[in-house]
Structure 1
Amino acid sequence: MRTQHKVWAYQPEHYDVSLAEQSVPSLEPNQVLVANKAIGINPVDWKFIQANPLTWQEGHIAGVDGAGVIVDVGEDVDQAWIGTPVAYHAALARHGSFAEHTPVYLNRLMKLPKTMAFSLAAALPCPILTAWQAVEKIPVKPTRNVLISGLGAVTKLVTQLLVQRGFVVDVISKSCSAELAEKLGIRKVYRQLNDVDQHYFAAYDAVGPDNAAELVPYIKANGHVVCIQGRVETPIDAPFTKTISYHEIALGALHSFGDEQDWLELMNDGEVLFNHVIEHKLVVESPTEFHFDDMRTALKHSETSKQKSVVVV
């Protein structure tokens, strides 16, 4: 095993990352070492780099999504795992995927389908698991109408998963074409909120809490609002009126509060979803690829482009 590897180390004084060499991390008993073949970039990555809400120290390794091959295991892990291709979603508070190697807890891995490219696998964990958690928030009631505001990487997946469950899905999007709507199974496209002309069983928002709050008047009694970016802090509807349920999504919550069963279920669900991508049951966009040395360019691309996930190879 190598003792040193390349990483993109956090520089708190500049709110930036820089290419450096560090010691390959040692493993806890229940961890494996993943040699990253591809690294996914999500908005949470550049947002945390720019704001540093967790007070990362100099040298911290950012990045939540990655895919690669297991090259070493902790003392409590079966050696048979070595050589297994996997993807993972890392905790923001720990060293992450912006490195040649990343330590990951064994129960937080998803095995890859045999034909899935590492570049695609690395682009999936955050958006696909977030979409899955969002869809799981509401009870399955086929034929009910659902409204989605903002059509990005996560909500495109949410749309498809809802359609598969029998919901009728409309979206608010300025950019969604008729071709894309047909591909995703969308019934109707509104260009702005003022165009919405009916009430919905549930509404999903991927813009922010204020935008999610504006959807509440369009939700039926006993309906749901799911906020993917932030949370609606105070109910908009008065008590004992429409009794709307408010939901928030934070994929990273399991890293702090999830138990063994939570992780087992989520990783099993993730593996099923990965297979659905390979089987073309879920439509995903091909990621934009950058070289590992071009991390800063990749981060800027993720921030400024409409595409919500890019991959550094």
Structure 2
Amino acid sequence: MHADFAAWSWNSDKGIDGLELIRKPLVQPRSGEVLVANRVLALNPVDWKIIEWGHPDWKDGHVPGVDGMGVVVAAGACVHIKPGTRVAYHQSLSRDGSFAEFCLLDAATVLVVPAALDDSAAASLPCPGLTAWQALDKVPGASGDVLVVGAGGAVGLLLMQLAVQRGYRVWATAATKHHSNLNALGAVGVFDYRQAHWQQALQSALGERRLLAVFDTVSGAHAASLAPLLGYNGHLVCIQDRQETAPLPAFSTAISLHEVALNSFHAHASLSDRQRLRQAGEQLFDGVLNGKLSLPPHQVFDFRKLPEALHALKQGGEGGKWVARLNESDSVLPA
């Protein structure tokens, strides 16, 4: 077992360019924890945002990164996952994360990866997949019209497919380059959000029907602007931000407001909540394996150039899911 390992270190008020590749001492797992040797890490927008904005629990030296995949190399007491098991995970923002050769995790939160699933696919699913699942779980029933805003992104793409599979008529917004793929995956109509009159076009396509739910991946303010599209007892689901004030007059269409906060499960979910979340994650893996879920294409980058990849993600880059593969035979940073 290694005595230390390579990791990207965060420095307060220095943003992405302040990340530093260092070596950290390897800590063995305590009761209820597993130590994972990372094979792949995946980037998410939350990564660059928190690196730039900061986090109340972060101090200089904190390791960022929420999504990763690897092999369990050690397990603490009261853990039933055996060393050698392939797992993927969404790490708590309050703990050292996936931008490293090793990651220490709460065993109750890791997802066992099927043998047939590719490492990169497994690493790229937890944050967007579980966020999409949580968002869809806010809305009851299995019929009606729903709108997924930002279906060209990883969360929106998975959410759109899950909603189609549940039985909804799914409308979506995305850049024009994504339209043919989204239609092929089951969207009944896709609109370019950059067109000034896309909302009117959607309403015209709906006719007398109104939306049961809007899933917004942009911002709380953007979600609020779409509230008039909802029908009576509809659902406004904010995947970015939340609604601090009601977007419509009281006692009008009586819509319900929902926030999605995946990271919060680490601190607030019960054991049964965690079990349900793990089951949802493993069902997502099965969906990819059986061809029911399509993932964004991977953009592979060198772990040593992680800051550049974060900048590209922030700027929109070439799209797709940014992943870095770690090779045990190639030491990232010599001891």
- What TM-score do you get using the length of structure 1 for normalisation? 0.95
For the residues of structure 2 that align with 1:82 and 1:105, how far apart are their CA atoms?
14
Which secondary structure does the structure 1 equivalent of 2:160 belong to?
Answer: helix
> C-alpha separation between the residues in 2 aligned to 1:266 and 1:289?
28
Q: Would the alpha carbon gap of residues 119 and 253 (structure 1) be closer, same or farther in structure 2, given more than 3 Å must change?
A: same
Shift of residue 181, structure 1, vs aligned partner = 2.7
Conservation of the 8 A alpha-carbon contact between 2:7 and 2:23: yes
- Is this contact kept in 2: 1:10–1:60, CA < 8 A? yes
CA RMSD of the aligned region, Å? 1.5
Question: What displacement does 1:177 show?
Answer: 4.4
Provide the rounded CA distance (Å) in 2 between the counterparts of 1:2 and 1:177: 44
- Counterpart of 1:83 in structure 2 is 84
Residue number in structure 1 paired with 2:62: 60
Give the partner amino acid of 2:31: P
Matched residue, 1:241: 252
Is 1:211 matched with 2:222?
yes
Provide the C-alpha distance between the structure 2 equivalents of 1:76 and 1:25, rounded to a whole number of angstroms: 18
2:12 is aligned to 12
Q: Which runs of 5+ in 2 are unaligned?
A: 193-197, 326-335
Percent pairwise identity: 36
Q: Does residue 285 of structure 1 match 2:296?
A: yes
Partners of 1:165 and 1:77 in 2: how far apart? 34
Shift in alpha-carbon separation, 1:25–1:194, aligned structure 2, 3 A: farther
Q: Structure 1 residues 177 and 29 mapped into 2: Cα distance closer, same or farther (>3 Å)? A: closer
- The corresponding residue for 1:255 is 266
- Residues 301 and 324 in structure 2, CA contact (< 8 A), matched pair in contact too: yes
Three-state SS of the structure 2 residue aligned to 1:196 is: helix
Matches within 5 A, 1:1-313: 1-15=1-15, 16-54=18-56, 56-78=58-80, 81-142=82-143, 144-151=144-151, 152-191=153-192, 192-197=198-203, 198=206, 199-305=210-316, 307=319, 309-313=321-325
- Aligned amino acid, residue 73 of structure 2: V
Contact 2:216–2:222 under 8 Å retained in 1: yes
Alignment correspondent of 2:333: none
Whole-angstrom CA distance in 2 between matches of 1:3 and 1:174: 47
Give, in whole Å, the separation in 2 of the partners of 1:3 and 1:46: 29
**Which amino acid letter does the alignment assign opposite residue 261 of structure 1?**
S
Which deviates more, 110-119 or 184-193?
184-193
Q: Residue 49 of structure 1 aligns to which amino acid in structure 2?
A: I
Q: Deviations over 1:186-224 (max 9, x none)?
A: 111223334332421111111111110111111000111
Residue deviations 1:154-181, cap 9 Å, x none?
A: 1111111111111001112332544213
Cα separation, partners in 2 of 1:178 and 1:150, compared to 1, 3 Å:
closer
Q: Is the 8 A contact 1:36 1:97 kept in 2?
A: yes
TM-score for the superposition, normalised by structure 2 = 0.89
CA shift at 1:256, angstroms?
1.3
The one-letter code of the counterpart of 1:180 is N
* Whole-Å separation in 2 of the counterparts to 1:252 and 1:232: 18
Q: Secondary structure at the residue paired with 2:99? A: coil
Tell me which amino acid in the other structure corresponds to 1:2: H
Letter of the 2:248 partner, please give it: D
Q: Following TM superposition, by how much is the alpha carbon of 1:148 offset from its aligned partner in structure 2, in angstroms?
A: 1.8
Number of residue pairs the alignment of both structures matches: 311
Give, in whole Å, the separation in 2 of the partners of 1:180 and 1:73.
42
* Contact 1:203 1:219 (8 Å CA) reproduced: yes
